[in-house]
Amino acid sequence: MYTKLLQAIYRDSDLAEKTASMIEQKVSVYQQKKGQAGKLHWDEEDIFLITYGDQFFEEQQPTLRTFKKFYQKYLADTFRVVHFLPFFPYTSDDGFSVVNYQAINDRLGTWEDIEEMRSETRLMFDFVCNHMSAESTWFQEYLNLNDTYKDFFIDLPLDTDTSSVTRPRTSPLLTTFIDKNGKEKHVWTTFSEDQVDLNFKNPEVLLKMIDILLFYLEKGASFIRLDAVGFLWKELGTSCIHLPETHKIIQLFRAIADEAAPGTVLITETNVPHKDNISYFGNGENEAQMVYQFSLPPLTLQAIRSGNTSKLKEWLKTIDFASKKTTFFNFLASHDGIGLNPVRGILPEKTILELVKQLKKEGARVNYKKNPDGTTSPYEINATYLDALSSPTDTTEWRSKRFLAAHSFLVTLPGVPAIYIQSVLGSRNDYKGVEKTGENRKINRQKFLLADIEKELQTDPLRTAVYGELTQMLSIRKKEKAFHPNSLIYLLDSADSFISFIREAKEEKVLVIHNFSNQSAGYLLPKGDYLDLFSGQIIHCSQERKLIFQPYEYMWLKIIK
């Protein structure tokens, strides 16, 4: 089953057959353990929560147990899937520099705590497959010249020409380490000096990572997020991103998951332009079932900040939502910043730079990437999505209106919606976190003492408004079959301040209308009868009727006649 893919990766028939046999043995052992199979399809009730396992804490209590308490009280009725960001021992990047792929960070708890959460909801694990911590046993044994780990990492002469390599950071690609004999090793580090890239040209690395994938399935992961997977395969003289071998490895992961735990969903995290991003669907059946909709956060931000939806509508017209076997993982905020690469080619560079300039002026932070010519460009805007949408002088009411309009748009699009915990909580920028660590991304990674956040959800007007109205919105969404991830969408003509469309599943239709401007505006409602899903009121239109929408107002109108 796996031989053909392995031949395409390694171009060695004997090696492919030998490796395929070893993979088959691993899958067979897994199947004997009776790992959990996933749900075979997604539907309108599937809403994802993105969170850290130590998001909430109490004294002398594993944070996963504290999270479970908060989840049961505030989140269980709304979210059907919890994406725990890496919960393994780590040395940097808030979990994405993994020391041990198969252990739980002591502060968070144990695998039993993960099992307890799995009894509450379906889980999504991070498979940080491109790189690992420089403090990991694998890399330390590599520096100790242990033959087992000899080719687990990529060591190149310092004068190697790497100018064609795509860089998501401004840090050096090669980081110098000293082995046990005092010799320098210049190791490939795509993201930081503490995150050393694995060498998938060594089939032993591939086999080790397959062990980890199967381990996560055994531990109950229904969804596997392939972190930074676009960078997996390196070939000097190329961009070292989206290479054919990378796609073949993902196809191999998919084939293994399909055989070992049917229904498991692979999600690729590739923060790149849309055309490259959707290539990870493969032929619709052989790679990821879901890809992140990375263009959505910056495009929605730009539309609301400008009050002009024209670029957003142009982009929406280009999205192919036709497949029933794949779908988009839609989000507006995550633990990272608001990526800008995905909208290069959609928004003019001038528009991107103007947006960055304005947000920096208002308190956002910005991370940069290195270009092939040695220059730098903005890579991501660091801010909570709430503050990115708002101006410093905005009232609480204005902030919540903009924020909820953006999320109404998010959750009514084809695809599965995923909402970051800071968005659910109505969080503002955490400047103390940035100052304490010097890391821009800390601005939207604040952790909370359980008693404090529970109190704020009751007493802070912004948190109360956002949490209450967002969870109500999601509860309504879950009841409407028209919002199935794969149901049809028909984008309607409207003024630049509006974006409106119809979602349709079988005989159910919902008309969704958003005013993304800070001005009242009229919208011509076609003849028909409608049920307002928020107010419960029936709207009768014996003929075309003009409705006045207040700034950032939205309506979900179920067509009943």
Q: Assess whether 227 carries a catalytic annotation.
A: yes
323 Cβ contact partners less than 8 Å away, ≥ 6 residues apart: 281, 284, 486
Q: How far apart are CA 421 and CA 81, in angstroms?
A: 13
**Structural tokens at position 337:** 């910043």
Within a 13 Å sphere around the CA of 468, how many CA atoms are in the beta-carbon half?
A: 12
**Structural tokens at position 320:** 């192919």
Are 532 and 525 in contact by the 8 Å Cβ rule? The answer is no
- Rounded (10°) CA dihedral 103, 190, 223, 25: -70
DSSP state string for 139-191: HHHHHTT-GGGTTSB-B--TT---TTS--SSSS-SEEEEE-TTS-EEEEE-SS
**118 annotated ligand binder:** no
Q: Where are the beta strands (DSSP E) in 352-492?
A: 365-370, 376-382, 416-420, 448-449, 488-491
CA angle (215, 220, 221) in 5-degree steps: 85
Are 132 and 198 in contact by the 8 Å Cβ rule? The answer is yes
**Structural tokens at position 78:** 């709304």
Q: Which of 227, 394, 496, 532 is catalytic?
A: 227
Whose CA is closest to 550, among 477, 492, 498, 512?
498
Determine the longest span between alpha carbons in the chain, in angstroms.
85
Measure Cα distances from 377 to 232, 368, 384 in Å. Answer: 23, 5, 21
**Structural tokens at position 473:** 């919105």
Measure Cα distances from 438 to 91, 190, 361, 399 in Å. Answer: 15, 20, 19, 27
Q: How far apart are CA 499 and CA 316, in angstroms?
A: 10
**335 annotated ligand binder:** yes
**452 annotated ligand binder:** no
**194 annotated ligand binder:** no
**394 annotated ligand binder:** no
**93 annotated ligand binder:** yes
**46 annotated ligand binder:** no
**441 annotated ligand binder:** yes
Q: How far apart are CA 346 and CA 348, in angstroms?
A: 7
**Structural tokens at position 29:** 């052992």
Q: How far is CA 541 from the centre of its chain?
A: 41
Q: How far apart are CA 527 and CA 110, in angstroms?
A: 58
- Rounded (10°) CA dihedral 230, 234, 235, 237: 70
Helix axes 13-32, 244-260, angle to 10 degrees: 30
Residue numbers in the known binding site for substrate are: 93, 131, 225-227, 335-336, 441
Residue numbers in the known binding site are: 93, 131, 225-227, 335-336, 441
Residues annotated as catalytic are 227
